[in-house]
C-alpha cells in the first residue's frame, strides 16, 4: 500500500505520511486483525441500517454487504494482504472493500467513527470470549461432578496448613472445586449480561446528525440495547476489565487445583495418577512422570493477572473520551483469553482422565490424629463437657497416643479413662474415619449423603 493511499485514508489534513517509527508505534494491525470477523459483522449491520433509514441506497448497501463477505472469506482463507500503513483492521478492511466495489465503499463510514467501530468490535470479541469461557467452565464442572460421583464415599484427609485436619471424602473435595468454578461461571455470565450494550452509532463521541437507528444495529449484532451515552460508549473498557477480573479469579482457582494435582501426583502422596496425555518424562531420569500441564496452568496465572493490572494502568488516567492510549487495551486481553481457554481445557482433560488412588487416600485419612475433633465433639455431646475442657482432654489423649506410636482409635478404653474417667466405650463409634465422615451431616458437610445431594443439585442446575 503506498503512502498516497494511506494519506487518503487519513483525509486531507496531512500532507505527508508518518515515518517508519510513527507507523510502527501507531499501527495496531499486527494484533487487532483478530477482530476481523467482528469488524465485518459490525460493518454489515451498519450498512444495512443506513439503507433502511434512507441514508444510503439499497444498491450501495447490497454491494457493501457482499463485498464485506468477500473480504471475510479472503481473511479466513489466509489470502488477505494486511498493510501496516493502513494502521488497523478497520482501515485494512475498508481499503480492500474499495478495491472490490469502488465508490460505494466510501459510504460505509457514514454516521460512525473508528471510535465507536473499535469499541463495538472489541465488545463483540470479548463477548465471544465470555461465551467460550462459559463452555470451558461447564465442561470442567461436569468432569468434577463425574469424579465426585465416583468417589462420594471415599475417605481422604482434609487439610489446613497442608497438615492433616479432619477426614473428608474425595467427593466432597471435588465438589469444593465445583463451587469455585460455579462462581466463575456466574461471574462470566454476569459480565456478559452487563456488557451487552452496543456502542455503534455513538460515532466519534457526540453521536451523529444522520437519522440512524441504533436499536436496529444493536439487535442485528445480538446486543440487548444501544449504549445510552455516546461519551461513555466510546471510552468504556469496563467490559474488558470485567472479563480480565473474572478471568483472574478463575485462573487463581485453576492454579489452586493445579497445585493440588502436583502435590497429589507426587510419590510422597500418590493420591492421584494423571494420564500420560497430561504428563511428560525426564530427559535423564526414566522413572519420572512430571505433571507439566498442571505446572503450566499454575504459571499462566501470572500472565492473566498481569493483563488485568496492565489494562487498569492504561485506563486509570484517561479523560473522556477516546485517547490513543486505548489502542493498548487489546494485546493483553487477547493473551489472557488465549491462556485462560487453554488452561480450562487442560484442567478439564486432567480431571476427566485422572485416577484417584482410593487406598492411598484412605491410608492418609486416618493419619495425623484426624479424628481428634470427633473425640472432642463426643466429650461435649455425650459427657456435657465444656468445649475448652474437651479440647484439653483430647490434646492429652493425642499426646498419649503419640507417645505410644499409635493413633487415637488404637488406644484402649483404660488408656482413655486414665486421662478422663467418665469416657465410655461408646467413644469408639466416632473415632474411625468412616464414622467421622458419616457423622458430618450438616448442610454442605462431607457426609456421603450430603455430597450426593450436592451432586444432584448441581446436575439440576446444569440442566
The answer to whether residue 6 scores a pLDDT higher than 70 is no
Hey, is 356 helix, strand or coil? strand
The answer to whether residue 167 scores a pLDDT higher than 60 is yes
CB 270 within 8 A of CB 360: yes
CB 226 within 8 A of CB 200: yes
Q: How far is CA 58 from the centre of its chain?
A: 43
CB 147 within 8 A of CB 174: yes
Residue 135: what pLDDT?
A: 98
Of residues 14, 28, 12, the one with CA closest to residue 85: 28
Residues serving a catalytic function are: 161, 282
Return all residues near 247 (Cβ < 8 A) that are at least 6 apart: 133, 304, 307, 308, 336, 337, 340
Residues in the chain: 463
Q: What are the tens digits of pLDDT across the range 227-242?
A: 999 999 999 999 999 9
CB 250 within 8 A of CB 341: no
Residue 286: what pLDDT?
A: 46
φ and ψ of 290, to 5 deg: -95, 135
Tell me the Ramachandran region of residue 445: left when phi exceeds 0, alpha when psi lies from -120 to 50, beta otherwise. Answer: beta
Higher pLDDT, 297 or 285: 297
Three cell numbers at 298?
Answer: 499454575
Hey, is 160 helix, strand or coil? strand
State the Cα–Cα distance between residues 114 and 327, nearest whole angstrom. Answer: 12
CB 253 within 8 A of CB 180: yes
Q: What are the tens digits of pLDDT across the range 171-209?
A: 999 999 999 999 999 999 999 999 999 999 999 999 999
Of residues 99, 154, 415, 405, the one with CA closest to residue 272: 154
φ and ψ of 163, to 5 deg: -110, 145
Residue 15: what pLDDT?
A: 56
Question: For cell 457526540, what's the residue?
Answer: 206
The answer to whether residue 1 scores a pLDDT higher than 50 is no
Amino acid at each position: 500500500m503506498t503512502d498516497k493511499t494511506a494519506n487518503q485514508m487519513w483525509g486531507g489534513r496531512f500532507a505527508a505520511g508518518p515515518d517508519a517509527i510513527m507507523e510502527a508505534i501507531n499501527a495496531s494491525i499486527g494484533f487487532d486483525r483478530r477482530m476481523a470477523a467482528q469488524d465485518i459483522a459490525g460493518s454489515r449491520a451498519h450498512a444495512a441500517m443506513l439503507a433502511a433509514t434512507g441514508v444510503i441506497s439499497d444498491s450501495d448497501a447490497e454491494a457493501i454487504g457482499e463485498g464485506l463477505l468477500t473480504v471475510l472469506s479472503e481473511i479466513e482463507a489466509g489470502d488477505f494482504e494486511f498493510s501496516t500503513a493502513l494502521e488497523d483492521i478497520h482501515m485494512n478492511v475498508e481499503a480492500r472493500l474499495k478495491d472490490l466495489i469502488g465508490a460505494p465503499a466510501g459510504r460505509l463510514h457514514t454516521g460512525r467513527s473508528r471510535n465507536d467501530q473499535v469499541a463495538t468490535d472489541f465488545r463483540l470479541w470479548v463477548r465471544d470470549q465470555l461465551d467460550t469461557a462459559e463452555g470451558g467452565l461447564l465442561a470442567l464442572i461436569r468432569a468434577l461432578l463425574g469424579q465426585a460421583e465416583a468417589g462420594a464415599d471415599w475417605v481422604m484427609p482434609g487439610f489446613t496448613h497442608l497438615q492433616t485436619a479432619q477426614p473428608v471424602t474425595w467427593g466432597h473435595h471435588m465438589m469444593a472445586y465445583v463451587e469455585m468454578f460455579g462462581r466463575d461461571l456466574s461471574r462470566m455470565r454476569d459480565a456478559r449480561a452487563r456488557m451487552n450494550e452496543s456502542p455503534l452509532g455513538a460515532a466519534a463521541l457526540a453521536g451523529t446528525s444522520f437519522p440512524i437507528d441504533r436499536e436496529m444495529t444493536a439487535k442485528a449484532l445480538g446486543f440487548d440495547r444501544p449504549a445510552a451515552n455516546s461519551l461513555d460508549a466510546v471510552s468504556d473498557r469496563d467490559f474488558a476489565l470485567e472479563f480480565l477480573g473474572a478471568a483472574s479469579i478463575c485462573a487463581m482457582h485453576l492454579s489452586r487445583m493445579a497445585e493440588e494435582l502436583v502435590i497429589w501426583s507426587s510419590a510422597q502422596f500418590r493420591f492421584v495418577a494423571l494420564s500420560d496425555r497430561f504428563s511428560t518424562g525426564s530427559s535423564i531420569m526414566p522413572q519420572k512422570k512430571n505433571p507439566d500441564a498442571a505446572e503450566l496452568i499454575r504459571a499462566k496465572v501470572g500472565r492473566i493477572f498481569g493483563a488485568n493490572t496492565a489494562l487498569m494502568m492504561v485506563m486509570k488516567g484517561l479523560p473522556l473520551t477516546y485517547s490513543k492510549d486505548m489502542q493498548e487495551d487489546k494485546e493483553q486481553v487477547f493473551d489472557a483469553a488465549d491462556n485462560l481457554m487453554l488452561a480450562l481445557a487442560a484442567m478439564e482433560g486432567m480431571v476427566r482422565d485422572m485416577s484417584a488412588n482410593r487406598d492411598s487416600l484412605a491410608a492418609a485419612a486416618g493419619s495425623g490424629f484426624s479424628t481428634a475433633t470427633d473425640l472432642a465433639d463426643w466429650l461435649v455431646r455425650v459427657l456435657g463437657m465444656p468445649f475448652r475442657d474437651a479440647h484439653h482432654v483430647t490434646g492429652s489423649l493425642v499426646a498419649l497416643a503419640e507417645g505410644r506410636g499409635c493413633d487415637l482409635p488404637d488406644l484402649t478404653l483404660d488408656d482413655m479413662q486414665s486421662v478422663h474417667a467418665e469416657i465410655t466405650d461408646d467413644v469408639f463409634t466416632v473415632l474411625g474415619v468412616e464414622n467421622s465422615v458419616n457423622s458430618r451431616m450438616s448442610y454442605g458437610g462431607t457426609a456421603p449423603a450430603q455430597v450426593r445431594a450436592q451432586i444432584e443439585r448441581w446436575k439440576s442446575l446444569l440442566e
